[in-house]
Amino acid sequence: DQQVKQNSPSLSVQEGRISILNCDYTNSMFDYFLWYKKYPAEGPTFLISISSIKDKNEDGRFTVFLNKSAKHLSLHIVPSQPGDSAVYFCAASANNQGGKLIFGQGTELSVKP
Amino acid sequence: GAVVSQHPSWVICKSGTSVKIECRSLDFQATTMFWYRQFPKQSLMLMATSNEGSKATYEQGVEKDKFLINHASLTLSTLTVTSAHPEDSSFYICSANPWGVQETQYFGPGTRLLVL
């Protein structure tokens, strides 16, 4: 039972263009969502998060959008840079779960010069 | 930002031996730490929640007698893989959650375990 899904295993984008990574969830108890960037053999690095009371959060080149009715969130990176190439994981947590994170499968982003 | 360390960063062991992995929060206290496992090209799967001063809470399908977790202090949790087998070879990652803050979870750099 995959509660958090990233249906695109990979995404290729040209440098300077927008990267859009998508994530869907099924558990309506999730009230906090996070995006992490991960390189092979390293731990995830926090990028940006959003609370369920908001529908948008922006931090520099990164913007996360949340559509609660559709149980869908997306991460926009603009402009994309070659250094953004990595695997991106979305994660969700519920307030009554003590901070436990449920991760999606990840999307490997490749930004080509 | 907050720092979480793991030791060792990689370990190779023979089948049947036990391996201990440490997770430390270096500049904050963490009542709760989490242990994840990641197989190649797969998601991070939560194994267990480590609670300081009490027993760990294991996710469904994770053998508590095989993966022993001890959260002895507010800055240290250990995961011991007992009687390791080749199928236990994986990337183990811990994370630490500062006091009651749902929004913040910091990850360690991970430990690569290879069981021969």
- Cβ contacts of A32 on chain B, cutoff 8 Å: 102-103
Interface test with A, best of B31, B43, B113 (most A CBs within 10 A): B43
Distance of alpha carbon A58 from alpha carbon A43, whole angstroms: 23
Q: How many CA atoms lie within 13 A of B58 on its CB side?
A: 13
* Residue B13 near residue B113, CB atoms below 8 Å: yes
- Cβ contacts of B49 on chain A, cutoff 8 Å: 98, 100
* pLDDT tens by residue, A49-58: 999 999 999 9
Share of chain A above pLDDT 90, in %: 87
- Contact between B46 and A49 using a beta-carbon 8 Å cutoff: no
pLDDT category of residue B3 using cuts at 50, 70 and 90:
confident
Strand ranges for chain A from DSSP E: 4-5, 10-14, 19-25, 32-38, 45-51, 56-59, 62-67, 72-77, 86-93, 102-103, 107-112
Distance from CA of A27 to the nearest CA of B (A): 16
* pLDDT tens by residue, B17-63: 999 999 999 988 888 899 999 988 888 999 999 888 888 999 999 99
Interface test with A, best of B32, B91, B92, B103 (most A CBs within 10 A): B103
The residue of chain A nearest to residue B110, with distances taken between CA atoms, is A43
Distance from CA of A52 to the nearest CA of B (A): 12
- Cβ contacts of A3 on chain B, cutoff 8 Å: none
Q: What number is the average pLDDT over the span B64-74?
A: 92
Distance of alpha carbon B90 from alpha carbon A79, whole angstroms: 34
The residue of chain B nearest to residue A4, with distances taken between CA atoms, is B43
Which H or E run contains B6?
Answer: strand B4-7
Distance from CA of B113 to the nearest CA of A (A): 11
Share of chain B above pLDDT 70, in %: 95
Question: What are the phi and psi torsion angles at A106 (to 5°)?
Answer: 95, 150
pLDDT category of residue A31 using cuts at 50, 70 and 90:
very high
